[in-house]
Amino acid sequence: MLDKNKVDYSLYLVTDSTMLPPGTTLESQVEVALQNGVTLVQLREKETDTKVFIEQALKVQKLCHKFQVPLIINDRVDVALAIDADGVHVGQDDMPIKMVRQLLGPDKIIGWSVGHEHEVEQLAAMGPGGVDYVGLGMVYPTLTKKNPKKAPMGPRGVSKLLDKLQSTKAEWCRTVAIGGLHPDNIPRVLYQVASSDGKRTLDGISVVSDIMASPDAGNAAQTLRALIDDARFQYAEGLSPFTKEYSFEFARKCVQQTTEVSPLVQHITNKVHQNFGANITLALGSSPIMSEVEPEFEELSQVPHATLLLNTGTVAPFSTLLHAMRVYNAARRPIVFDPVGYSATSTRLELNNQLLAYGQFACIKGNVGEILSLADLNKGKMRGVDAGSVGSDISLCVEATKIVAYRYRTVAVCTGQQDVIVDGTCGGTFRLSEGSAGGASALPAVIVEAGEIPVMGKITASGCSLGSTIACLVGSISDKQHLFHAVVTAVCLYKSAGKIASERCHGSGSFQVELIDALDQLFTENHPENWVANVSRI
Ligand code: 3NM
Ligand code: MG
């Protein structure tokens, strides 16, 4: 007898025999998938006559029995009843859940395709007697679902649905993510998707084409199984969880390493920042390259210690930004993301959200307006790309920075008179079904301050160049070192240089020059204990 509470949703195969590679059959693909770690099977055959469908269902059922894996039938309640399958999966346009339940009885599994928050409210209202699990999607674009009525929602969209399951108290309902999931994005999805309170993570992932269309379905399933069981997402070399407090000793070592390895820092940035950012990078002993030439991205990413600064105040086309991000993620080299004017226009909002959905960033840096918008805490739309005047409410800034760090599993930096830095990387681990330790509020955070430097706001690209500075220092770290501390070091260095330059300059023109000189000097001397910026743990 099927025990509904013991179903393993971790690797859920949905079939589609229209995409079988030559030499394979529906059964042969399902069988090798079962041999290699699939825990649940759904027969989803949209274009098959009833008689053939039933024949196929019986054959697949036999295989599933052999591996003690439940079989779910897509849409066809009659077929499920006829063969005594373990459950039915229906979409929003199929038979209503209440009727499916009446026909199937209380012990069968009912799955529902869910893409919107109001659908979660509906299932919550039905109570535990209704839906047992939901397929949340689509996460990414897919060629498998013909005429999809939904837009890809990315990990952030899936997290929002988990939030809704939490707030509507639908704790019985299990979840799998579906749509465009493949080995290059699955660990990132599992790592990033969690409810805001940290109590809910996905129970599994569901794929069609990754297994069904594979010429080696056994290997495909095994790869997915290993990624899920590994429970680790190593998105950049050098990632290490926050354990010790920031120290001058670490800062000194970080600067010294930057000198030694001279990271290549590829900038894809706006025109205003290009020249200044290149000079800042040189002052920090690193090598700037301002390339927007797609064919060379891969080669650049392979250079030891290469790092990418992605600044979306840029004029580069979206496809260029996306390509750069994919290449650096694949090479496991860090990306520093600066979503300039994140929500200033709907075009920017869409572009930045797409990038956030498709990549993993070592660091996301923004001014107060950008970070508040990223955290959905901004009242009203941003007016321009400048910081605005909300900077005085430090507790709001800390809250927003924590939310951004948690949502995107990144080191988030909110710049202002006081810079807030939060470590959301959580050591790069994830666990199906077990939640994600604590949620946003539990994350380690520091504030960096060096008093007022009003002249900072009077030159262009001062914020963007903090991005360059972070990229230089993050690029230098090697295995088992702290990403978070490298970012803190960069912010302290930059802020200290800003303070010194503001005291030496005669106005905003000479401030620019003095800033580069001061950075060069502090970097070369490498005595972090003398830096004027102060770090406090909060
Ligand atoms: N349902 P692939 S997406 C069957 O969003 C299905 O509800 C979806 O196929 C939903 O793994 C989808 O090949 C197709 O991208 C997923
Ligand atoms: Mg359907």
Distance 535 CA to ligand 1 centre (A): 47
- Residues of the chain with pLDDT > 70, as a percent, come to 95
What is the CATH T-level fold of the domain 4-230, as seen in this structure?
TIM Barrel (3.20.20)
Q: The tokens 């036999």 sit on which residue?
A: 62
Distance 438 CA to ligand 1 centre (A): 31
- Residue 175 identity: T
What ligand 1 atom has the least distance to the C-alpha of 14?
Answer: 4
- Contacts of residue 32, defined as CB under 8 A and 6 or more positions apart, other chains included, come to 217, 218, 221
Contact between 159 and 151 (Cβ < 8 Å): no
**Nearest 5°: phi and psi at 204?**
175, 180
**pLDDT for the residue numbered 382:** 53
Average pLDDT, the chain: 93
d(CA 288, CA 280): 9
- Give the mean pLDDT of 63-89: 98
d(CA 334, CA 265): 10
Q: The tokens 């928050």 sit on which residue?
A: 117
Examine the pLDDT at 481 and tell me if it is beyond 90.
Answer: no
pLDDT in tens, 85-116: 999 999 999 999 999 999 999 999 999 999 99
- Give the mean pLDDT of 169-190: 96
Strand-pairing partners, residue 423, are 411
d(CA 177, CA 165): 14
Which-ligand-closest: CA of 93? 2
Tokens representing residue 259 in the block: 């000198």
Measured in whole angstroms, the distance separating CA 306 from the mean position of its chain's CA atoms is 21
| Of the candidates 319, 318, 16, 320, the residue with the CA atom closest to the CA atom of residue 142 | 16
d(CA 376, CA 378): 6
Strands (E), 291-424: 307-311, 335-338, 363-367, 411-415, 418-423
Sequence-distant contacts of 117-123: CB under 8 A, at least 24 apart: 117/160, 117/161, 117/164, 119/92, 120/161, 120/164, 120/165, 120/168, 120/170, 121/164, 121/168, 123/97, 123/170, 123/173
User: Mapping DSSP to helix (H, G, I), strand (E, B) and coil, where does residue 327 land?
Assistant: helix
- Residues of the chain with pLDDT > 90, as a percent, come to 81
Contact between 396 and 270 (Cβ < 8 Å): no
Contact between 175 and 134 (Cβ < 8 Å): yes
- The model's confidence at residue 479, banded by pLDDT at 50, 70 and 90, is low
Sheet holding 418-423, edge to edge: 287-289, 264-268, 307-311, 335-338, 363-367, 411-415, 418-423, 445-449, 534-537
Q: Where in the sequence numbering do the catalytic residues fall?
A: 464
User: Which of 13, 14, 16, 17 gets mutated to test ligand 1 (max ligand atoms within 8 A of its CB)?
Assistant: 14
d(CA 8, CA 280): 52
What ligand 1 atom has the least distance to the C-alpha of 182?
Answer: 11
Which-ligand-closest: CA of 149? 1
Q: The tokens 């079939």 sit on which residue?
A: 15
CA distances from 161 to 117, 158, 168, 364, 429 (A): 6, 5, 10, 23, 21
What is the CATH T-level fold of the domain 248-423+439-537, as seen in this structure?
UDP-N-acetylmuramoyl-L-alanine:D-glutamate ligase (3.40.1190)
Distance 158 CA to ligand 1 centre (A): 14
| DSSP assignments along 450-496, one per residue | -S--GGGGGSTTHHHHHHHHHHHHHHH--TT--HHHHHHHHHHHHHH
ipTM of the complex as predicted: 0.96
d(CA 413, CA 416): 10
d(CA 166, CA 271): 44
d(CA 365, CA 342): 11
Distance 94 CA to ligand 2 centre (A): 6
Examine the pLDDT at 535 and tell me if it is beyond 80.
Answer: yes
| Of the candidates 87, 61, 413, 36, the residue with the CA atom closest to the CA atom of residue 210 | 36
Strand-pairing partners, residue 311, are 338
Examine the pLDDT at 398 and tell me if it is beyond 70.
Answer: yes
Contact between 12 and 111 (Cβ < 8 Å): no
Contact between 165 and 120 (Cβ < 8 Å): yes
pLDDT in tens, 250-267: 999 999 999 999 999 999
**pLDDT for the residue numbered 421:** 97
Residue nearest to atom 13 of ligand 1 (CA): 209
Per domain, the residue ranges of the chain are 4-230, 248-423+439-537
Q: Which residues surround ligand 1 with Cβ inside 6 Å?
A: 14, 113, 135, 137-138, 142, 144-145, 150, 178-181, 207-210
